[in-house]
Every structure is written in C-alpha cells, then in structure tokens.
Structure 1
Amino acid sequence: MKINFIGIGAQKCASTWIHRVLSDHPEVVIYPGKEIDFFSVYYDRGYQWYEKQLGKPGKATVAGEVSTSYFADSDSPERVFHYNPDMRIILSLRDPIERAFSNHLHEVRLQHMTGQNLTFEAGLENNPMYLLQSRYSLHLARWLTVFPISQILVLFQEDIRDDAIGQSRKLYQFLGISDTHHSEFLKEKINVSQRTKYPHIERLARTAGRLGRALGANHLVEKVKRNNWVRHFRQYNEVNLRHIVPVMHLSTKKQLEEMLAEDVLELSRQLGRTELPWPIWQIVKSQFRE
C-alpha cells in the first residue's frame, strides 16, 4: 500500500501523541516504531523497503508514519513529493523557545550532553540545532515550495494540551477517516522529559517492546505497559530532568525572543493566522507594532 500521510515533526512538539492517537484508529496503518527516517536518512533503500516497514494494511484506508527528522531536512520535501505528490503532511509545533529547552532536556536524557554543566545555556553553545530547529518558518518555506498549504495540517502542542479531543478530530478529518474514534491515548502526557535511575532496565524494556511490535504484537505490548506493576516500577525508575537541569536564564529567554521574533512573524503569515498560542507571540506583536 502506498504511504499517503506522514508526520514531519517538529522535534519535541507532540509527535508522539499524534502517532499514538493514530495507532489505535481502525482505519489507519502506521509504522509502530514512529521513526522510519526514510526520506532523510534511508532514502537509498528505495520505495519497496519503505513500504514494507508498515506491514500489511488490513482494512486500513490510510497508511503513514511519523519521522521528526523530515521537517528541518532540506532534501525531504522534494523527495516526499516525488514519492507521492498527494501526500498529506502533519506538522506539529509549540512555542519555539520551549521547544529548544525541551530539546536540551532530551539531549541530556540521551546522555549526548554530559558533565557538571548541564545548563540550557551550555547546551545552546554546544548544539546549534537547538535554535535551528525552532526556526519554523525557515523550514516550512521549503515544504510550501513543493506542497500547497491545503495538504499540510498544522497542530499546536498547546491546543492538544487544552483540547485533545478537538485536535484529534481535526487530525482524523484531515486524513479523511472517522472522527468519532476515541483513542485510548487522548489524555496521555506529551513531552515529559525523564531520565531513568537504572537505564539498562529501561533499555531492555524498550528492546522487548520494539521486538514485540516487529512481531505484530502491538496490543500485547500496550497491555504490558498498562500493567499496574510495570507502570509503578517505571514511575519509580524515572527522574524528572527539570529537577536536574536549571531553568533558563531570563537574559537567555529575552535573547531568543529577539532572535526568533521575525521567524515567528513570518510563520503567522505562512499560516494565515493573526494569533499564535505562544508567549513569544505577545512579544512579537508588541515589537512589530512599534
């Protein structure tokens, strides 16, 4: 079955929630592991390999995957178009400064950033992608040179937080599937940054989960994850990284607001919106009224 929708990110912007509320919809077949990264990393493996990753569609009417590496990748838009010019594209965004900070927490969790100095400021200096991936209009412009805006659904993490049911219906309607489905993942917390006390146990659990999904046992994997004993142990094994990483300096926040203001304004023009659900939007409006 030809893949006809993709989630493209941005990273740390509720893409996991999108994947999960689609994963239990009866009209959807979706890659269980979320990140295929075909158009950005594995393009040389060809379309046949790509389509095989989803398995058999069964009774599904739409097929897709979510890979957050696509949004900021310069080659992905044209590659996606050449594969399927009718592709429906799901883009999820959040306040760009919050996204950058969450990006830092993610890198600390993965131990890509280690040492005594785990401040966000040190992370910004170490990893230029924190800021680059938050320049939404820069990346969206590349997609809009290839695809019309009518083929791109933009969701905001803040709206998902405040109205999960309404946003799921918007997502289902965009894909042309029943919007009466009530996903079991609707109220699941999104972008909770945790680090484990015993990482080897968590790695073993994740490996077992991937193996189970690869064998077609998605339902069993989710049932085990919801088991009370398993849930309680995983909660005990988690440490909230916001208790480890210091909050962003106010001076850093103001500097990022200045650096991202024009990008946010251009994004509002691209989307045809006069309001964005972000704290930085109020700063942008006040700056450009002067």
Structure 2
Amino acid sequence: QPINRLTVPNGTLLMTSLQSFDSLLKDIHKKDAPYKLALLRAKASFSGLWVYREDHTEVRILGALAKIAPAFLTLDGVGEAIREMEWGSDLKVESAKKAHGRLETREVTMTEGNAEIPYSFEMPKWWEMREGVTIPAIPVGKPKESGKGYVPERNPYFKKFTTRTMRPVIDFDTCVKCTLCWIQCPDSCFDVMPDGTYDANMEACCGCGVCEAVCPVEHCITMVNESVFDDNASQWEMWRKDKGGYKTWMTSKIGDKNATVRSHGFRFRGQYEKELETNLDAGGVEITAGIPGENAQHKTV
C-alpha cells in the first residue's frame, strides 16, 4: 500500500478493472512522480483454497505486458510460451492477443490521485511481542440422533458465516446421497442427517459454492444471495417438519433470478469453457468461472 508505491517514475501500473480511469484514480494515492496507468477491462478474479476460477487472467496479463514493454516481451513470444506450457491452448493465445489489442493507457500526473496519507505501521520487534495462545484441537464428531447420522465437531468461536455472500439451498427430495458435497466441502459444514441426506450447517458454511459445483443432480443445491435470508436455521429440520412448506420456501429462494446471480465460482463443470467460447469476442469480460478441461455441458441425475 499504496498500489503504486513501487511504480518507478514514468513507469506503468497495470490494473484489471471494469472501472474508468477517473474512478480508479479517486482511490489510488498521489505519487511524487508521473507514471502511466494501464487498464485491462476485466472482472476481478476470485480464486483461492476453495474456489478455482480460470478466467485467463495470467495470459491476458502477459498479452498486456507485451504491449507495455515490447522490448522485454513480444506478443509472438507470449504465444509460443503459452503453447509450450502445460496449461497452454490456442484459446489462451487468442485471449492474450485480444488483451494486447484492447489495453488502454493513460498518463497520470503528480496532481492526480487520492490525497490521503497512506496507512502505515511499524512491525513490532520479537522481544516486544506478547505471549502466544494455544488453540486446542477439534475433537472427533458424534452421531446425530439415536446413533444415526454424523455431526462433526466445530470450533465454537470461529463462525465462518460472517464472511459469506451466498449460501446453498438444498432440495432434499432430489438428493441421491452421493456424499460429494460432504466430502468436498472445505469447511466440513455438512451434517449427515439420520435419513442419509446432508444439511449445511449455516454457522460453519463460508459460501464458497463448491457443493453446488460437485453435486451431480441439477438444482439439488443452488447458491443463493445471502441478503435474502434472515437466520441460520437448519434447512433439513424445516424440510422434516413441513415438506410442502419447505418446497414453497425453497422454490421462492431459487426462483429469484436476482438472488441466484453468482458472486464467484461456477455452477457446473465445463461452464467456463462454454461461456468462454460464446464470449471470447468480448475479451472475457462477462465470463464466469469453471474448471478447465471438463467436457460436461450440464448436470445430470
């Protein structure tokens, strides 16, 4: 911090964003030397331990760099490197070329930018640090009811739902008890219910969407915007008490098109490739995520 701190005088700061130059400069701090701001129009990538999002960011950045510093990196060289790499493909070469052609650059003067003083702090010396704390291990879980089902033990203090932007809504009537959501969940948020179905514990769920992506049954799990929910109540308990009422509730949640727009992740294997092919001419701006190399067009029972 700030984002342009390491940019040398008359150097170039490369960013990926859908915002305009003027909008970005409202947040970028002023610098004591002029520089260039290069903008690659793209959505922010969301990726990490739980969600794999492949939107060609790496090759598009390489294509942009070839335009910024052609003496250092040529577009032909980028294409050759992509094809030689294990992750290479002609589709990615095309993405790099489009990024090269569509890169926008703007001169930024010393008078432009956010005038606020960047936040700074001094790291403590090792002899100034306080004593550490010990966090006990999480014990093994236990059966749910009369020896049936299974509930994993969870940290009673670490509630991951506070950072969630989406949550899974589950159709227990169509669940085939395949165990994939339970196995693949990175936070062990699924409880095994006495009937063999799986209920997401909403205090442990971080909303990554992996369960929806791995579920083999279409619409059995649907990620829905967190803003349409009022509590973290058990969906399975609601379904067990009133299956008809739950069906009505579930249908209203997953039927709201605004509430089911994904903020990250993907809905099925192969979604990324499918959308990339149809949106390539747009430079990938409207592409959502998926898993490369998968051929499935949609889920099947």
Name the structure with the higher helix share.
1
- Taking structure 2 as the reference length, what is the TM-score of the superposition? 0.20
Tell which has more relative contact order, 1 or 2 (C-alpha 8 A, sep 6+): 1
Taking structure 1 as the reference length, what is the TM-score of the superposition?
0.20
